[in-house]
């Protein structure tokens, strides 16, 4: 599995539309989605999938250089429903189709029917022209980060959650991930971001810069529940070495907020049994939820008090990349952010980072 910092051929996204997740029938978030697609397209070709019913809506709003395909999904979190790609030593690329159960299935999933989502990865590989390995492991793409050099980062909170693969032990899951993704070492954080409804995805608290180097969301308020989580993760990372024996350099990203769902924002959401969208709910906001795509870093602007500091930290970590910040509160209201909304297709010519 290549790292996200390696060269990419495409970035895929899925049109947001669920009225129980997106306020006002998705119109506000669709406007931000278009801005995001345009920003990514500066660096990498973008493909957007959408249902037949909403095709004309998406096609009208997106510029002509962005490809729009009629592939339906239950929601829009392409990182979790799209294919994860691996490349062998001969440069042959393959897609991995994980089993998807809406972040918890019947135990604590966010919606009841995820049939369309679970079929996306296979269709994606058919379009990209790659063979597809359909595996039995329940896993979302946002729950893993890889450095492309043998090390994978994840959280126990998510991969060992009883709603994923309760029949498998930690060592069973490690063995499968090493075999499927070609990694040599897995670094497990205990928890992800506080109140993250994905059960603690790694991509909402940590991002890989390159082998031996990561960004981590760090909270500076000892009274905040995120403080202890981040301090534990920081200590673990500083005491760890990666698959090649490197000590891990950690860049500390500030934590925005804390931010909360407003009454006005909550009023525009149609209630459902799976997703809790109530005024006053704490939002799982993180600057770590950004996308590396070739020469660009597309990152969320979330809090005026911390946006400039986050940008400074990101620029220091990626001195040769162009940073593009987008106001992403509308995406955050749905439970994720830029990284969650995108899935990259790595180039098979991946000898050197972008």
The radius of gyration computed from the CA coordinates of the chain, to the nearest angstrom, equals 19
Told to judge if 219 belongs to the known catalytic residues of this protein, a careful annotator would answer: no
Cβ count within 10 A of residue 147: 29
Say if residue 295 is exposed, middle or buried (CB neighbours under 10 Å; 0-12, 13-18, 19+): middle
60: left (phi over 0), alpha (psi -120 to 50) or beta: alpha
> Which residues are CB-neighbours of 211 under 8 A, at least 6 positions away?
3, 147, 148, 149, 151, 242, 244, 246
Q: Round to whole Å and give the CA distance between 345 and 44.
A: 10
- Closest by CA to 258, choosing from 195, 214, 203, 197, is 195
> Angle at Cα 328 formed by Cα 323 and Cα 331, nearest 5°?
130
- Closest by CA to 329, choosing from 302, 298, 291, is 302
* Residue that has been written with the tokens 């599995």 in this structure: 1
Given the residues 146, 158, 328, 340, select the one marked as catalytic.
340
**Residue 216 and residue 234 in contact, taking contact as beta carbons nearer than 8 Å:** yes
DSSP state of 256: P
Catalytic residue ranges = 340
């Amino acid at each position: 599995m290549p790292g996200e910092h390696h060269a990419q051929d495409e970035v895929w996204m899925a049109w947001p539309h669920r009225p129980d997740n997106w306020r006002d029938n998705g119109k506000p978030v669709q406007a931000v989605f278009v801005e995001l697609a345009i920003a990514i397209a500066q660096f990498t070709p973008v493909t957007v999938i959408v249902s037949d019913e909403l095709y004309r809506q998406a096609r009208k709003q997106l510029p002509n250089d962005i490809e729009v395909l009629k592939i339906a999904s239950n929601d829009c979190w392409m990182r979790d429903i799209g294919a994860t790609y691996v490349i062998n030593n001969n440069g042959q690329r393959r897609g991995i189709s994980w089993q998807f159960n809406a972040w918890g299935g019947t135990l604590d999933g966010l919606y009841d029917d995820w049939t369309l989502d679970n079929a996306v990865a296979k269709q994606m590989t058919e379009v990209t022209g790659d063979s597809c390995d359909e595996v039995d492991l329940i896993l979302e793409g946002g729950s893993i980060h890889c450095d492309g050099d043998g090390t994978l980062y994840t959280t126990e909170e998510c991969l060992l959650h009883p709603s994923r693969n309760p029949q498998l032990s930690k060592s069973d899951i490690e063995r499968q991930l090493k075999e499927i993704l070609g990694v040599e070492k897995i670094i497990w954080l205990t928890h992800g971001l506080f109140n993250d409804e994905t059960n603690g995805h790694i991509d909402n608290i940590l991002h890989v810069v390159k082998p031996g180097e990561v960004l981590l969301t760090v909270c500076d308020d000892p009274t905040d529940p995120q403080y202890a989580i981040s301090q534990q993760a920081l200590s673990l990372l500083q005491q760890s070495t990666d698959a090649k024996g490197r000590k891990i350099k950690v860049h500390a990203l500030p934590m925005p907020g804390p931010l909360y769902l407003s009454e006005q924002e909550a009023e525009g959401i149609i209630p459902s049994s799976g997703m809790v969208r109530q005024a006053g709910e704490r939002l799982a906001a993180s600057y770590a939820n950004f996308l590396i795509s070739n020469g660009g870093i597309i990152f969320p602007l979330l809090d005026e008090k911390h946006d400039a500091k986050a940008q400074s930290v990101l620029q220091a970590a990626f001195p040769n990349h162009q940073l593009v910040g987008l106001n992403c509160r509308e995406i955050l209201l749905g439970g994720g952010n830029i990284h969650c909304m995108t899935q990259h297709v790595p180039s098979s010519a991946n000898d050197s980072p972008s």
